Chain A
Amino acid sequence: MTGLDYIAKRVLFALATVFAAVTLNFILFRAIPGDAVQALRCQHCTVQFKNALRQDLGLDKSKWEQYKLYLQGLAHGDLGKSVRSQRPVWDELWPSIKNTIPMVALGYLFSVLFGTIVGVVSAWRRGTIVDKGGLWTGLAFYSMPPQWLGLMIVLFVAGAVGLPTSGIKDPTLGILGDASTWDLIVDRLRHMILPALTIGLVLYGEYALIVRSAMLETLGEDYVLTARAKGLSSWATVWRHGFRNALLPVVTLGALSLGYIIGGFITVEYVFSYPGIGLAIVEAIDQRDFPILQGAFLLLAISVIFFNLIADLLYFRLDPRVRA
């Protein structure tokens, strides 16, 4: 087998998984008692309206027909229509996605940076105070429910640092006079920091633990002894022979934990009323707007599959053994 095989196999696998996610999505939403329309909660939802909606959504057709329609729609990028607002799901979700991406990216960056540093140093100084500190803070943040950590930050941190705890934009901004672009950016950032910090801290715990244990495992390998025998200082050994090898499991496990991360940001966005995709999911649950929920879940699933594919390809870059 060649390296090309590896790539081909991973891409095929990703495509197959997308298909599996799509199908699962369809089955889940058709398996509920009643149908998507019945559970709808809104003021103008009369029986006539609901029946019209059923016809409109194709719910009166057979399941198989519906599946084909669903696949056809998806193939054209059509995620369906929100039953509440009657707007396409994609149009409903796109603004939320735009809000979520920078916030999660900020939190992710924070966690990867600090998690890696703490994990590496912790493993290097194994058994010392530094290690114990890293290990226990990691474990502590890892053990806290993200929504609760968010509440703790609102309760104890937000006031002290004077950052907003809700929404994405200061409602007073622009009322007293035109806000400059700079003001808008700063305001956006200020709203982003606390939710990003919450996500960052939860993930920090997870990454610090993963990196530490991957590093420890690597430092037990024979080539580390060889490196020491060659006269490398202990830091040089860690850097040149520990770090890159330890990255291999970190990349994989990091991608696999994405499902959990997403669960985290749904609740965190809810706590901070941050209008991202998580909040959209919460609102869709509340209003029983299943097409939105379905669309959001599919988008999340595809993004996780995508990042797993990225991790696999990164692995290919990092480990010459799969390139053989």
Chain B
Amino acid sequence: MTTAIEAVEAAESPVDVRPGLLRSKVLRQPQTIVGLSVIGLFVVLALLSPVLAPNPKEQVGPVFDPPSSAHWLGTDGGGADMVKLLIAGARVSLLVGFCAAVVSAFIGGSIGLASGFFGGKTDTVLMRFTDYVIVIPDVPLMIVAAALFGRSLTNIILIIGVIYWTTTARLIRAQVKSVRERVYVKRARALGAGNSRLVGKHILPQVAPLLIANTVLLVAYAIFAETFITFLGLGDPSLISWGRLIENAFIDDALLNDAWWAIVPPGVCVALVVLACTMVGQSMEESLNPRLSVGHLSPRRFRVRPAPPPREP
């Protein structure tokens, strides 16, 4: 019997990951390249932030000063330079995004792998548990957890990471289950190969690209979740992130001051990174799971051309 969730998963027909697949299919797509460049740009800015924006909160001008040649994006409600704040914010937002995504991918990947590989009772127990967690609303849970457990960066990373693993677990489980049924895995098992060999040599390499694609998508979710938590005043008060810049602008009444430059840029940064991660993650998933590539219905039609001249001997 299939539940609704399983029926959605059943549509997945994973493809064999063969050498060169990522290079030949994923990296050729323009949307992957654009997405990776955007992510790369922000990562570089984040890494260089101690140099580019050593003291971002320093007051450098009047409060809500409009953009000028000295301060390209003006100043915020504390008179600090917006460009510097954004660069400093990139550091924390990306840190939260990547770390929480890695935590999620690790938890989800392990549960999915164990569940799919061992099957049977292990599978039933782990998936029952996963289903409970899936249905409990994730964002409110994060907000509640953040409200209860405090406002350090580590806590926020852990809270996001520990809550967002469910879809990963389901996805990886489905993939592992299908790879496990592959003939070459069955044969290696029949030969007496141990679990570590089966997982390490045959299953993980097949699953890893999908896990990476999923992690990239998780980065987007995690950055998003950070803005929620921070917006409700639950972030680390000593740190600057994009979510915090949006909160500050709201609290400091940037709206009443018509200071669009204090509100628009942090949201644009979040949207850009989330969009970039989504594009990269989706294009990777699609090339690993090319069920969208055959369409029997297309607005374009086949063409009719003149017959080629018969080739005379």
A interface residues, Cβ below 8 angstroms from B: 1, 5-6, 9-10, 13, 16-17, 20-21, 24, 28-29, 31-32, 124-128, 139-140, 142-145, 147-149, 151-152, 154-156, 213, 216-217, 219-222, 224-225, 228, 234, 237-238, 242, 248-249, 251-253, 255-256, 258-260, 262-264, 266-267, 270-271, 281-282, 285-286, 290, 293-294, 296-297, 300-301, 304-305, 308, 311-312, 315, 319, 321-322
Contacts and interface: CB of A to CB of B under 8 A. Distances in A.
Contacts of B260: 155-156
- Top 9 nearest A-B pairs by Cβ distance? A263-B139, A259-B137, A148-B267, A143-B275, A143-B274, A315-B4, A252-B4, A224-B296, A259-B138
Contact of A143 (B7, B263, B278): B278
Nearest to B258: A155
Contact of A148 (B11, B137, B266, B278): B266
Contact of B136 (A21, A152, A312): A21
A63 to B, nearest CB: 16
Contact of B297 (A222, A234, A290): A234
Nearest to B142: A263
Contacts of A213: 292
B170 to A, nearest CB: 10
Given A6-B1, A143-B271, A300 B135 contact: no
Interface of B: 1-5, 7-8, 11, 131-132, 134-145, 147-149, 220, 224-225, 227-228, 231-234, 243, 246, 249-250, 255, 258, 260, 263-264, 266-267, 270-272, 274-275, 278-279, 291-300
Contacts of B294: 220
Nearest to A128: B299
A315 B270 CA distance: 35
Contacts of B270: 143-145, 148
Contacts of B7: 248-249, 252, 315, 319, 322
Contact of A260 (B1, B139, B144): B139
Contacts of B139: 259-260, 262-264, 266
A57 to B, nearest CB: 16
Nearest to A237: B297
A127 B298 contact: yes
Contact of B135 (A253, A267, A308): A308
Given A145-B270, A248-B7, A267-B228, A220 B144 contact: no
Contacts, number: 204
B17 to A, nearest CB: 21
Contacts of B4: 248, 251-252, 255, 311-312, 315
A305 B297 contact: no
A216 B139 CA distance: 29
Contact of B292 (A17, A31, A220, A262): A220
Nearest to A144: B271
B135 A312 contact: no
Nearest to A5: B1
B148 A32 contact: yes
A50 B295 CA distance: 66
A238 B295 CA distance: 12
Given A147-B246, A151-B263, A256 B228 contact: no
B138 A228 contact: no
A248 to B, nearest CB: 7
A260 B3 contact: no
A152 B264 contact: yes
7 contacts: A148-B246, A220-B295, A263-B225, A270-B232, A271-B250, A308-B135, A312-B4
